Amino acid sequence: MFVLALAVFWFAQRVADGDVRPRVWAALGFCSALLVVTRNVAVVYLLIPAVLAGPGLRSVKSAGWLVVGAAGPVAVQLVAWRILFGSWLVYSYGGERFDFAHPHLAAVLFSPRHGWFYWHPLLLAGIAAFAVWAWRRRDGRAGLASLGAIIGLNAAWPMWWLGSSFGNRGFEAATFFAMLGLAALLRGAPSGSWSRRLVTAGVGLAITWNLLLGGLFLTQRISRGEAVTYADAGRALVLWVRGPD
């Protein structure tokens, strides 16, 4: 998901920069379709290529190559549904539906049960910086809109923590926005200044913590699906370091 989303953004940026060759349009269509086929709610991220590449879609030829690129992933998905379920169109999530009347907005971001910012606190700083950076850009505002949409969709899903995963896997592509925010923070902090040292130290601590948390997760010293508080992770880390009695 992350790689596909970045590919979509990159090809859209190529078009925005004036590269309107047929193969670029076809690649944009292919990656966009494969992104949505892989996880349907990722359609919200197409707001960004719509803003970047939309103005370059001025001819039937460009639209045709975009459709040609998108046709492959869509056709494979339709055929797979037909073979597996006997129908060309299938809703494969059974009785699960979005519940927009009772969203878990706070939980999906801050709950110990795979809350996006609780599990990876560095992302909160990155997203805050991204919001400031993006608000002054047209494509950035499209990114903010897609971020708000994916938060709302993930919060409205019955199993908002999305089961067993390292953090909340529903925000895989949105991690890129936090990366942009952190890059903006580092770029805005002059080299050798206290602000640059503060940001660098914070990022270093967060990376170290994430690697340790990953080790606890992979060795199953912390739960993969249930709530894991910082205290739980700390105790597991101490026991891991101490080793068997």
Residue 64 confidence (pLDDT) above 90: yes
More confident residue, 55 or 93: 55
Residue 27 confidence (pLDDT) above 70: yes
Q: What is the pLDDT of residue 23?
A: 96
Mean pLDDT to the nearest integer, 181-207: 89
Q: What is the pLDDT of residue 57?
A: 86
pLDDT band at 9 (very low <50, low <70, confident <90, very high): very high
* Portion of the chain with pLDDT greater than 70, in percent: 99
Q: What is the pLDDT of residue 141?
A: 96
Q: How far apart are the first and last CA of the chain?
A: 42
Q: What is the pLDDT of residue 195?
A: 85
User: 160, 240 in Cβ contact below 8 A?
Assistant: no
Residue 243 confidence (pLDDT) above 70: yes
Length of the chain as a residue count: 245
Name which of 49-63, 65-79, 119-133 the model is least confident about.
Answer: 49-63
pLDDT band at 245 (very low <50, low <70, confident <90, very high): low
Residue 21 confidence (pLDDT) above 90: yes
Q: What is the pLDDT of residue 192?
A: 80
Instruction: Tell me the average pLDDT of the chain.
Output: 93
Range ranked top by mean pLDDT from 56-60, 68-72, 199-203: 68-72
